[in-house]
Amino acid sequence: MARLRSNTLSFRSRRRRSLLGGAGLPIGLLMLAAIVAWQSGAFDRLRAEFETNSALAPAAEAPDHAGLISGRTASIVDGDGLILSTGEEIRLGDFNAPEWNQPGGADAKEALREIAYGEDIICTPCEGARNPKRCTSYDRIVATCRLNGKRLGDLMRARGIAEGGR
């Protein structure tokens, strides 16, 4: 009977090794290295470095956008969104364009491109926000932007662009 048990145990240990594919020791060492790195604070230092040096860092809490934001329009996102040369992504608070895949969405984007692309604009954050306590929408700053003193939303409506997004 004792001999049968030793064969059974031997079979089970061989089976465990084959399930890991001979990678048991390397996986164990990798896990040990990860635990040591975590305990030493290496991951915290990496995260802090990533957040300060990376354009892909997670967005911080919405900053208080009390002052004006100005810059040259570097990119048009859609019919009511643009990116300034300073990196701020703006959602127009005074114009609600159709989504790009809805009727009129492509026309709205093209109209905003013709009006604002490459132009210096001044934006007032939180102006036009549905909820004044929430000045961001999908990580974009909600703001009313002006080109030569005229609101971009008014310029879009003057071109006959219909509103109708979400």
pLDDT tens digits, one per residue of 105-131: 899 999 999 999 999 999 998 877 766
- Among 55, 59, 100, 93, smallest CA distance to 76 is for 100
Closest CA to 119 of 152, 90, 91, 147: 147
pLDDT at 159: 92
- Pick out the chain residues at pLDDT < 50: 1, 7, 9, 55-65
Residue 64: predicted pLDDT: 47
With H, G, I as helix, E, B as strand and everything else as coil, classify residue 136: strand
- Does the predicted TM-score (pTM) go above 0.85? no
Delimiting residues of CATH 2.40.50.90 domain(s) in the chain: 69-158
> DSSP label at 64?
-
pLDDT at residue 47, as a whole number: 67
| pLDDT for 105 | 87
Fold of the 69-158 domain: OB fold (Dihydrolipoamide Acetyltransferase, E2P) (2.40.50)
